[in-house]
């Protein structure tokens, strides 16, 4: 069964304290790994798509990396406005046009 697991469930950081969020996946053929940000009461906001092991993408203080088993979302010198829930999702070879399978999310809180 295709599965996505994120850790930790919650992470509290001080402003400027860099860290990483983990997304482990077990799927029958990966066709894309997606990172989203979700603020309370809002829908997920697209951040990155990664397609193959070794690929990296960056946006401001965020960098996403991908291996054959997991993805990391690195947050460098976070600010309070980075506080949100970060969701990881995968698309598989059997659902290339369709559904995303999501992890449960990591709730990040950055204190000033």
**Residues found near other proteins in the complex (CB under 8 A):** 4, 6, 31-32, 34, 36, 41-46, 49, 51, 87, 89, 91, 95-105
Q: Mention every residue, 6+ apart, whose C-beta is less than 8 A from residue 55.
A: 65, 66
CB of 77 to other proteins, least distance (A): 27
CB of 16 to other proteins, least distance (A): 28
CB 56 within 8 A of CB 63: yes
* Cα 9 from chain centre: 12
Strand partners for 10: 107
Which of 89, 110 has the CB closer to other proteins?
A: 89
CA neighbor of 106 nearest in space, from 90, 76, 82: 82
Which of 55, 76 has the CB closer to other proteins?
A: 55
Which of 49, 83 has the CB closer to other proteins?
A: 49
CB of 41 to other proteins, least distance (A): 7
Q: How far apart are CA 106 and CA 85, in angstroms?
A: 5
Which of 36, 78 has the CB closer to other proteins?
A: 36
């Amino acid at each position: 069964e295709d599965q996505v697991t994120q850790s930790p469930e919650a992470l509290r950081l001080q402003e400027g304290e860099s860290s990483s969020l983990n997304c482990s996946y077990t799927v029958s053929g990966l066709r894309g790994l997606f990172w989203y940000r979700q603020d309370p009461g809002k829908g997920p906001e697209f951040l990155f798509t990664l397609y193959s092991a070794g690929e990296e993408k960056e946006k401001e203080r965020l960098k996403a990396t991908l291996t054959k088993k997991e993805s990391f979302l690195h947050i460098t010198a976070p600010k309070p406005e980075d506080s949100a829930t970060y969701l990881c999702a995968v698309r598989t070879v059997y659902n290339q046009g369709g559904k995303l399978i999501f992890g449960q999310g990591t709730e990040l809180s950055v204190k000033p």
